[in-house]
Structure 1
Amino acid sequence: MEFLLSLLQSILQTALNPVTAAFVLAAIGLNVHFGFTGLMNMGQAGFMLIGGYGFVISVMNGLGVFPAIIISMLSSALFALLLGIPTLKLRGDYLAIVTIGAAEIVRMVARLANLSPITGGPSGIQSPNFRVELNALSPLPEGRTSFLGMNYMNTGVDDWWSRIIAWGLVALFLLITWLLMRSPWGRVLKGIREDEDAVRSLGKSTFSYKMQALMIGGVMGGFGGIIMVLPSAINPDGMGRATTFNLWMIMLLGGAATILGPLLGSILFFVVRLVISAVATEFVPSSILDAQQTEIVSWILIGSMLMLLVIFRPQGILGNKKELSFNV
């Protein structure tokens, strides 16, 4: 019973973690790209890096939080523009190859030792160097607060203020996505996903719409990068290929082309990993599985579950099979 209560509390803590919210934000952007527009973007981690570094570097150079957020948004949008102009005429796996290559270029540039004074190089930049401005905006009183068995500082590093910001942004972007996809603009995006030639025959500039979708989803990914770095640090290798693949897993798990799919997928992704690790640690002797092996087993089981999901329910948990028509 004690183990179960401890597990439930850990699940709640994981579900409300800012990192979970960061993946929700980035997955919402990826859902705009792939789920609603049909763009095979395999480089969403690049947008997270651009957005995160845009915010961190701006704050560390004396700009306030809100100007830094604007610069982060502009940086993500500019990256989408530079990436989209030569590549959005590509389809399917060709676009996927180009976008994953672009994200890797961003990561490797950020790792350059020559740029260490700006990006921190391979070691990145620690959060105390850029959190001061954000903490100063907190309206919460000093001290700690307990809620549903969770006890955190009101304002600090692992705090309630970060969680309020993170999940407030999640709610905002879910609302924005819902409104956009109910609009005529959103219906054009779905038309491009299903039959781009038919939309073009109606006089619509499909290139323009895809560029807009790439920029909007990229800015959402940039916000995911900002939230990702708040708890500890920004590190180039912390948002690499594995991050993009995890985002795809989250989106497919929750359901592509759904509003709440990224939210459900992200929470389940982190919670399932936690449950598998906790159960294995509690009931499997360390002589059979140590901590490192347990982590590996959890990834194997998650991968297996994703394979079964794609085979037997390709639309995801919340998805609709009618939304799985892609013009690629």
Structure 2
Amino acid sequence: MMFWTNLLESILQTALSPVTAAFAIAAIGLNVHFGFTGLMNMGQAGFMLVGGYGFVISVMSGLGLVPALIISILASMLFALVLGIPTLKLRGDYLAIVTIGAAEILRMVARLANLTPITGGPSGIQSPNFREEFNALSFLPEGRTTFLGMTYSNVGVDDWWSRIVAWVLVALFILITWLLMRSPWGRVLKGIREDEDAMRSLGKNTFSYKMQALMIGGVMGGFGGIIMALPASINPDGMGRPTTFNLWMIMLLGGAATILGPLLGAILFFVLRLIITSFASEFVPATVLNSQQTEQLSWVLIGVMLMLLVIFRPQGILGNKKELSFNV
């Protein structure tokens, strides 16, 4: 009985974690890129890194929270511009190769030992160095609060304030995406996804629309990087290829070209990993599977489940087969 109680508490904690929210936000941005526009962006982690470091370095330079957010947004937009101008005429695998290469270049630059005074190098930057102004905005009293069986500090490193801000941003970006995709602009994006040549024949500047979508989704990715950094630290290796692949898993699991798909996918992704590792730790002897092997097993099983999902329900849990026409 204790196992099941602890498991339910852990599931709730994982579902409401700021890291889950960060991945949901970045996946919403990726959904704008691929799900609604058909851009095969395999470098969303690069936008997270640019946005996150833009915010962290600006705060540590003493610019203040609001200027730091503006710089983070501008940095994400600039990266989208630099990345998009030479590449948005590419399609499918070619665009994927370029975007993942660009994200890896950014990661390796952030890891440079020569930039350690600025980026922290391979070790990154710990959140206490840039959280003070964020904590100062909290309207919560000092102390600890228990809610739904979860007890955290109201303000601190692992706190309720971070969770409130993170999930408010998730709700905000879901609303923005819903409004955009119901607008004429959003319908043009879907048209580009399904048949770019047809949209071009109607007089639409498809390059401009794709650039706008890349910027908007990139800014969302940048905010995902900020939220991911707040609980503990920002680290270049924490925003590498595996992060992008996980974002794709989250988007496909919940359903590409859906509004709530990235949210559902992010929660299920982290909860499924937790359930697999918890059951393996509880019922499989340590002589058979140690903790490291259990972690590896969770990735294997999630990969198998994703393969089965793509084979038998390619539109994802919330997706619609009518939304699966991509001009890539």
Alignment length (residue pairs): 328
Shift of 1:66: 1.1
Partner of 1:79: 79
Is residue 19 from structure 1 mapped to residue 27 from structure 2 by the alignment?
no
Q: TM-score, normalised by structure 2?
A: 1.00
Partner of 1:62: 62
Moved >4 Å (runs of 4+): none
Partner of 2:133: 133
Partner of 1:222: 222
Shift of 1:94: 0.2
Q: TM-score, normalised by structure 1?
A: 1.00
- Distance between the aligned counterparts of 1:293 and 1:108, measured in 2? 28
Partner of 2:292: 292
Q: Deviations over 1:29-80 (max 9, x none)?
A: 0000000000000000000000000000000000111110110000000000
Alignment of 1:29-178 (within 5 A): 29-178=29-178
Partner of 2:232: 232
The alignment partner of 1:57 has SS state of helix
Partner of 1:246: 246
- Distance between the aligned counterparts of 1:142 and 1:163, measured in 2? 16
Q: Deviations over 1:138-167 (max 9, x none)?
A: 110000000011000000000000000000
Partner of 1:258: 258
Partner of 1:209: 209
Structure 1 letter corresponding to 2:254: G
Is residue 2 from structure 1 mapped to residue 5 from structure 2 by the alignment?
no
- Distance between the aligned counterparts of 2:79 and 2:2, measured in 1? 49
Structure 1 letter corresponding to 2:275: V
Structure 2 letter corresponding to 1:257: A
- Distance between the aligned counterparts of 1:210 and 1:264, measured in 2? 26
- Distance between the aligned counterparts of 1:43 and 1:299, measured in 2? 21
Q: Deviations over 1:196-238 (max 9, x none)?
A: 0000000000000000000000000000000000011110001
The alignment partner of 2:327 has SS state of coil
Shift of 1:239: 0.5
Partner of 1:268: 268
The alignment partner of 2:139 has SS state of coil
- Distance between the aligned counterparts of 2:146 and 2:183, measured in 1? 41
Structure 1 letter corresponding to 2:250: I
- Distance between the aligned counterparts of 2:139 and 2:262, measured in 1? 29
Unmatched runs of 5 consecutive residues or more in structure 2: none
Q: Identical aligned pairs, as a percentage?
A: 84
Partner of 2:281: 281
- Distance between the aligned counterparts of 2:118 and 2:4, measured in 1? 46
The alignment partner of 2:21 has SS state of helix
Unmatched runs of 5 consecutive residues or more in structure 1: none
- Distance between the aligned counterparts of 2:165 and 2:73, measured in 1? 16
The alignment partner of 2:151 has SS state of strand
- Distance between the aligned counterparts of 1:3 and 1:124, measured in 2? 36
Structure 1 letter corresponding to 2:210: K
Structure 2 letter corresponding to 1:292: Q
- Distance between the aligned counterparts of 2:125 and 2:100, measured in 1? 24
The alignment partner of 1:38 has SS state of coil
Shift of 1:121: 0.7
Q: Deviations over 1:170-210 (max 9, x none)?
A: 00000000000000000000000000000000000000000
- Distance between the aligned counterparts of 1:283 and 1:85, measured in 2? 53
Shift of 1:306: 0.3
- Distance between the aligned counterparts of 1:39 and 1:260, measured in 2? 19
Structure 1 letter corresponding to 2:189: L
